[in-house]
Amino acid sequence: MTVLERPAVAEVSKPVRRRVPPWRNPWRRPYILGAITWLYIAWSLLPVLIAIQFSFNDGRSRSVWQGFSTQWYCCNEGSVFEDPSMFLALKNSLILGIATVLVATPLGVMLAMGLTRWRSRTSAAANGISLVPLVTPELVVGSALYLVMINLYQFVPLGRPAMLLGHVTFTVSYVLVIVRSRLLSIGGEYEEAARDLGASPMQAIRTVLVPLLMPAIFASAMIVFATSLDDFVVSQFLFGNASNATVPILLYNAVRASPTPALNALATILLVGTFLALILTVLVLKARRRGTDESALETLADWG
């Protein structure tokens, strides 16, 4: 067969690019989803921003803007730091939040370590029970704690001791979940390496495992503080008398009477404190996530 007699080869046709409609393109910008998200954010934040605005009102009105002033925060009769009841409620909230952090955080860390190492048939049930406070309605927790305090644990008086026990009861689960997730991501390699290099079990936990857990411990402590600071339901059941009232309880009781912009100022202080705790948590997690791993490796090198 000569060259002229060879059969012709069919040309390969190029794929035809069809124009995809914008509404069927999966990589298009989500304009509708973005608009819905921003509408939800505006709907959620607008009442809060209005409340913050009227905390700087020059008059006593909480609905008519009368000029800018900081008189409802301090240095004026009826302001937050001049009103004894408001200042006491703010102090009670801070003391209760700090005490809850100091009790719930170590307890949650120890529970997380114990449940991570527990290998038995009942460990799964124990893990599930430890998460019950997270899924139980707060109203049920508060009423149950109140009945227990007045009927069974009568040696614990209503007020700050009962409130502390109540806050620790439902916040320790937050520490447990956060620290345990960090433990599972770390694994047991670092601790086993420290043991192989001659460290005792307690030395391995103290010098290697705890530094690795510090970002999670700090994050859980800040979340516990913010949760305790904002809690109303459990505190309302257990606060006893007005001398133990926290900021949420005072706001609830005062808003039904003759409220002034000082209540807005008090709520703004509480809101700022909560946001600062959460922002500090995010910053510390980003800053220390890599540094803790490097410090653990340096510790292992020292052991070696």
Give the ranges where the chain is alpha helix by DSSP (H).
31-54, 84-117, 123-130, 132-135, 138-151, 160-186, 189-196, 201-204, 210-230, 233-238, 247-254, 261-303
Looking at every residue in the chain, the average pLDDT score rounds to 78
Q: How confident is the model at residue 107 (pLDDT cuts 50, 70, 90)?
A: very high
Contacts of 181 (CB under 8 A, 6+ apart): 216
- For the stretch 81-85, contacts whose Cβ atoms lie closer than 8 Å and that sit 24 or more positions apart, written own/partner, are 83/262, 85/242, 85/245, 85/250
pLDDT of residue 117 exceeding 60, the answer is: yes
Supply the pLDDT for residue 31: 74
Distance CA 194, CA 200 (A): 8
pLDDT of residue 70 exceeding 70, the answer is: yes
pTM: 0.76
Amino acid at 112: A
